Structure 1
Amino acid sequence: MSLLRFESLLSAIGGDRVSSEVEQQATRLLKGVVPDELLASYTRLLAEGSCPRDEAPDLLGGIGQVEALTRSGMAHVSSSGPALPQRLVPVPPDLALQGTLAELTRRLVADQERLLDGQRRMAETHPWTSSAVTESADRLVRIITDREEISTVSRALISAARHDWMTLDNQSVERPMDELTAVPPPPSFDGHVRCRAIYESGCAEHPVGLKTIEIAVEAGEEARLLPRIGMKMKLADESIAMLPLTPTGMSGALLIRSSVIAGALREYFEMLWERAVPLGAASAESPLSDKEQKVLSLLVEGVPDAIIARRTGMGLSTVRRHSATIRAKLGHNNHHFAAGVAAVRRGWIK
């Protein structure tokens, strides 16, 4: 309903005769979105159709209600001519909702800016890298959403390690991996800090990813592989950890200083470390059965499933079941060639 048509309708039907349909629509659209007191003032103005501007505070419950209605776009001041008094006119309920949502959005943006400014001031007043970290409730967990701050904290977090530096990494990146996205390796800590990393196998199967890992290993890192890493993680001893709130972690991260949570994350890392395969291990123990090993050796040669079945004496359905199991263990569900490359890198095929 247009604003002019709505004003004409209200004028035609009179204040006390405003249709119950309009009142019901206003309640249905605005109940719970605006304060009940403001909704009551709006429906009262709807019932009147309009009112002289100077009488609006008395009718609607005060000048504050009048200002709230106009600020949120639920009413506007109208005049039919320079010699006529100004009147406060309600807008249609659908436009009132639109104006209210716009006002709420403006306030949320302003609140978010104040929140971020307060967080920056808090960080400046109480640096997270302080050696005197206490486990007060307001400092145990912090959400970081600023990309630049996430990158800075992520790089600086490594300096907090005193005995162990542990990371989990997968293939979740914001852009295709190339020479420009490869990050420098961590320092070797001069032998004082043990640096360990578990990578998703696919990271080592990409040329740039493999080169990055190899450089890190040369710098003193111990690297192992798993078919799948569910999330990235950085952990310094059992004191500070960083976890992603998004797959890449670059638009949201959780900085954890709780020793209870950090300790649990350490146990999680150690569990994965025991399961992981050392990078480039020449004698890595294959988790495949003898039959799966035979199927794999033929798959990497490009032999079709039907021919594999004839050569091994297995049924076709059995070959396909072994093939699916092999690819699942390797983390490659579609391509025999990719699975073969992964198996060679892990030492499952000599």
Structure 2
Amino acid sequence: MTTEQTARRLLEGIVPDELLSSYTRLLAEDGCGAGEAAQFLEAPEAVEELLSRGMAHVRPDIPGLPPRLVPAPPDLALQGVLAEMARRLVTDQERLLTGHHRLAEAQRAPATTGAGSMQRLVQIVTDRDEISRLSYALINAARHDWLTLDNYVLEMPLEESTGFTPLPTFDGQVQCRAIYETKCAEHPVGARTIEAAVAQGEQARLLPRVGMKMKLADEAVAMIPLTPTGMSGALLLRSPVIVAALREYFELLWERAIPFGAAQAQAPLSAPQKTILRMLVQGLDDEGIARRMDLSVTTVRRNITAIREELGVETRFAAGAAAVRRGWTE
């Protein structure tokens, strides 16, 4: 294995590809004149990057010879890169802890009950631009959960230019769930916008009626409307008690809602599954269902799992309740 191949095996995916190319070029030539390094590497910033990460160094002047930019051996280059990354991680960790400490102080419920203290927990916003700004700030502040309710109450007809705001890129770190009023999905623009959000990782469900719009980031802050559209008046809530209650309200609606794209007039279940579902609703346990249907308990449980997955619920009790709401047991 050549030195360049060793370098790629050790450093690929750890340093940027452009920097790795500069490093391997330097390795192939065993260095270059320090004064010509930027031109040789065809990237002026690469020289500073190589030096700061310990992947190269400038060899001191030797009598009669100009200084040279010399590459470190691949294993030492990796060691230097890891040391530099560790330093950055320590700095970032310190900043992260400082930020969490400041956030905790800012969101801590005040001990007093004065008007100023209450304004920190409940803020009335009536400026349209401020409402829009806070909406974007909320979604970008989410770190674990981003929950929204959206209905068909609009200030203007839904057109291509007035579709729902797309999700930012959360890279799978934030669970995004949205409940839309069915009318949103029945409109061509609304349907396309929801489909785009789902493609970006959103879990979307539908309800015939959604009473109000809502945005909720983690369990820390929420925004609800003071007007039907919420564009001319909204409440920004940081009260842990209220935000927790809104979270519970969302979860109750989520259990009732139908997954986007899966709403069907007829239950998408096989005949045996429909029979098992009816017995679930009646309260029979797995063994009782197995005896009545002359099936093994394993087969019954496998079908119950399939029913729960189709309904999008976690427990057999929730499956029975969701099936009744959707009319699957009739």
- TM-score w.r.t. length of structure 1: 0.44
- TM-score w.r.t. length of structure 2: 0.46
